Amino acid sequence: MVTSNFDYFAPTSVDEATSLLSRYRGEAKVLAGGHSLIPMMKLRLAEPGVLVDIGQIEGLSYINESSDGVAIGSMTTYREMANSSVIQSNYPLLADASAKVADLQVRNRGTIGGSLAHSDPAGDIPAVILAIGGNVVARTRRSTREINIDRFQVDLLTTSLRDNEIITEIKLPALASGTGTAYSKFHQPASHYAITGVAAVITVSGGTCTDARIAVTGAGDKATRARRTERILKGKELTPAVIRRAASRAAAELEDSLNEDIHASAEYRAHLTQVHAGYAIDQAVAAAG
Amino acid sequence: MSTEITVTVNGTEHTASVEPRLLLAHFLRDVLNLTGTHVGCDTSQCGACTVHLNGEAVKSCTVFAVQANGSEVTTVEGLADGESYSHVQQGFWDEHGLQCGFCTPGMIMTAEALLKQNPNPSEEEIRAGIAGNYCRCTGYQNIVNAIGAAAKAGK
Ligand SMILES: Cc1cc2nc3c(=O)[nH]c(=O)nc-3n(C[C@H](O)[C@H](O)[C@H](O)COP(=O)(O)OP(=O)(O)OC[C@H]3O[C@@H](n4cnc5c(N)ncnc54)[C@H](O)[C@@H]3O)c2cc1C
Ligand code: FES
Ligand code: FES
């Protein structure tokens, strides 16, 4: 399959890349790992007139730890995150989810910035970052802004990123002590995309949940916080009954937007979401120690 | 608009003027006549087109040739040293890791990458490692054996 024609630019700095995006605003798309964009272009679901390849820019691929948390460069690949000891120790669910994306070859190319910007309804990373919390750093030719991840995913394949902006970094907060994390997904066996995936970040103090962020992917039109589940957990002693009740509400926010396709009906997705919410919460609580 | 690219393939530098939309798989097959790299699904699923880009296994049907500008590419043609096959190639030969052979170049390139990351994989790790490569003939058993044999030979 052949994509439509486009003009190709391989800038070597973010400034040059953002200038190109401004110059060709409306026509241009950023090319990162290409593992969502190129398949879409081959199917002619996307026909950008200009591609700005950010793969030749030095210094967009890094994982930096500081006292505030961890900053991840937007071109960091799944493989780099899965293998990073900083990610493994600070955000075990991100290392685990990265290792479970697709297959070895896709993990060598796909990037954290691309997966967030693409916002695939079945993507793993959007839910994981939503559960961790944090900011997406977006740059234009003239300015830099930070977008809270809670305001980033807007709709199916749609984010609050503007078409002249490039994601340069993802800033994740340091997690409180006593926090456990987990990602539990039921994957489509061929592509490994999530039919449902639940990310849980739970802080426990003396058996009581003091904070919880739970996010669901695969089931609805975008990665979504399961706020009712979070509310049931917060402030409660984490007994099996409380966890079960919380998990049973994990698809509540998604009622109007449940996906239905050849892989799973809406009803089945809702059920799987509850089951995997239970797994993710149990594992996160166990990990919190 | 054509773009001039220089790519080092199996140790030889090639410069060519290509359309930006030319995929790396077609650059290798149609421009360089290296037809060992196969195109199976053309939709990023089957792994028949797997090559190494700067030492990492990638699906060359999902990379534009222009993205490989300035890079090193290794294809299945670049593995043997004269008559001497790589451990993975020899493993596929000895264990009969193929039937029609269509998936084999991609399987071999993925297996090479897998063994570089993990020289001593368990059977489960081998199966997970080739999750992005489909074989429609063998049922995978002999492929898994072949990769296991290559790991042993590499010790
Ligand atoms: C066979 C296969 C299986 C897959 N399975 C899974 C899976 O199991 N789980 C999963 O989560 N994903 C899966 N994916 C998708 C994969 O994770 C993609 O790599 C990812 O969704 C996009 O990242 P990318 O770097 O490849 O982005 P690209 O494809 O390059 O870009 C995607 C979109 O994001 C924009 N973009 C990219 N980077 C930036 C940036 N820094 N700033 C602004 N905009 C940007 C692009 O313009 C484009 O619109 C699969 C893909 C394939 C081909
Ligand atoms: S031809 Fe590239 S993955 Fe099938
Ligand atoms: S040997 Fe025929 S597809 Fe694998």
Query: Looking at residues A216-245, what average pLDDT do you find?
Result: 97
Q: What are A234-251's pLDDT values in tens digits? A: 999 999 999 999 999 999
* d(CA B153, nearest CA chain A) in Å: 23
What is the C-alpha to C-alpha distance for residues A185 and A191, in angstroms, rounded to an integer? 13
Please indicate, yes or no, whether residues B8 and B71 belong to a single structural domain of this protein.
yes
pLDDT averaged over every residue in chain A: 97
Whether the CB-CB separation of B110 and B23 falls below 8 Å is answered with no
CA B14–ligand 1 middle distance (angstroms): 29
CB-based contact B130:B111 (threshold 8 Å) = yes
**What's the pLDDT band for B155 if we cut at 50, 70, 90?**
confident
Superfamily holding A179-288:
CO dehydrogenase flavoprotein, C-terminal domain (3.30.390.50)
Residues B73 and B98 in one domain: no
Sign of CA dihedral B138, B139, B145, B150: positive
- The whole-angstrom separation of Cα A120 and Cα B138 is 33
Give yes or no: residues B129 and B66 share one domain: no
Residues B93 and B44 in one domain: no
Distance B134 CA to ligand 3 centre (A): 8
Tell which residue, B2, B128, B133, B112, has the closest CA to residue B53.
B112
Share of chain A above pLDDT 70, in %: 100
Instruction: Pick the ligand that lies closest to the CA of residue B47.
Output: 2
The residue whose CB lies within 8 Å of the most ligand 1 atoms, and thus the one to mutate among A35, A169, A186, is: A35
What phi and psi values does residue B14 have, to the nearest 5 degrees?
A: -125, 135
The verdict on B72 and B117 lying in the same domain is no
Q: Which fold has domain A63-173?
A: 3.30.465
| Boundary-marking domain end, from B33, B59, B78 | B78
- Residue A16 amino acid letter: E
Asked whether residue B60 falls in the same domain as residue B123, the answer is no
**Three-class SS string for chain A?**
CCCCCCEEECCCCHHHHHHHHHHCCCCEEEECCCCCHHHHHHCCCCCCCEEEEHHHCCCCCCEEEECCEEEEECCCEHHHHHHCHHHHHHCHHHHHHHHCCCCHHHHHHCEHHHHHHHCCCCCCHHHHHHHHCCEEEEECCCCEEEEEHHHCEEECCEECCCCCCEEEEEEEECCCCCEEEEEEEEECCCCCCEEEEEEEEEEEECCEEEEEEEEEECCCCCCEECHHHHHHHCCCECCHHHHHHHHCCCCHHHCCCCCCCCCCCHHHHHHHHHHHHHHHHHHHHHHHC
B91 and B72 part of one domain: no
Q: What is the pLDDT of residue A224?
A: 96
Q: Is the CB of A48 under 6 A from ligand 1?
A: no
Any ligand 1 atom below 6 A from CB of A110: yes
pTM above 0.90, yes or no: yes
Range of the domain at B11: 3-78
Rounded Cα gap, residues A16 and A119, in angstroms: 25
Task: Name the token pair of A150.
Answer: 């809670």
Region label for A57, one of left (φ > 0), alpha (ψ between -120 and 50) or beta (otherwise): beta
Q: What digits encode the pLDDT tens for the residues B60-73?
A: 999 999 999 999 99
CB distance B48 to ligand 2 below 6 Å: yes
Comparing CB atoms, the residue among B19, B63, B132 nearest residue A104 is: B132
Per the structure, the count of domains in chain B is 2
Residues of chain A with CATH 3.30.390.50: 179-288
Residues forming beta bridges with residue B7, ordered by sequence position: B14
Q: Residues B12, B78: contact at Cβ < 8 Å?
A: no
C-beta atoms of A190 and B66 within 8 A:
no
Helical pair B104-117 and B87-94, crossing angle rounded to 10 deg: 130
Query: In terms of domains, do B65 and B97 share one?
Result: no
Domain boundary among B52, B78, B104: B78
Span(s) in chain A for CATH 3.30.465.10: 63-173
CA distance B86 to B101: 17
CATH number of the domain to which B36 belongs: 3.10.20.30
Whether B1 has a pLDDT exceeding 90, the answer reads no
| A256 pLDDT tier (thresholds 50, 70, 90) | confident
Nearest Cα neighbor of B37 from B18, B63, B15 is: B63
Domain A7-56 has CATH 2.70.98.40: no
Which residues make Cβ contacts (< 8 Å) with residue B30, sequence separation at least 6? none
Task: Write down which residue in B38, B58, B78 finishes a domain.
Answer: B78
Determine contact, residues B153/B91, Cβ cutoff 8 Å: yes
Same domain, B11 and B37: yes
What pLDDT does residue B15 have?
A: 98
Specify the CATH number for the domain of residue B112: 1.10.150.120
Assembly ipTM: 0.97
pLDDT tens digits along A152-189: 999 999 999 999 999 999 999 999 999 999 999 999 98
Instruction: Check pLDDT > 80 for residue A263.
Output: yes
Helix (H, G, I), strand (E, B) or coil at B8: strand
Q: Give the model's pLDDT for residue A289.
A: 82
The partner residue sitting opposite A53, judged by closest CB among B50, B58, B67, is: B67
> With a 6 A CB cut-off, is B136 part of the ligand 2 pocket?
no
CA distance B90 to chain A (A): 22
- Say whether both B36 and B70 belong to one domain: yes
Question: pLDDT above 90 covers what percent of chain A?
Answer: 98
Q: Residue A195: what pLDDT? A: 96
CB contact under 8 A, A104 and B113: yes
Using 50, 70 and 90 to split pLDDT, how confident is the model at A231? very high
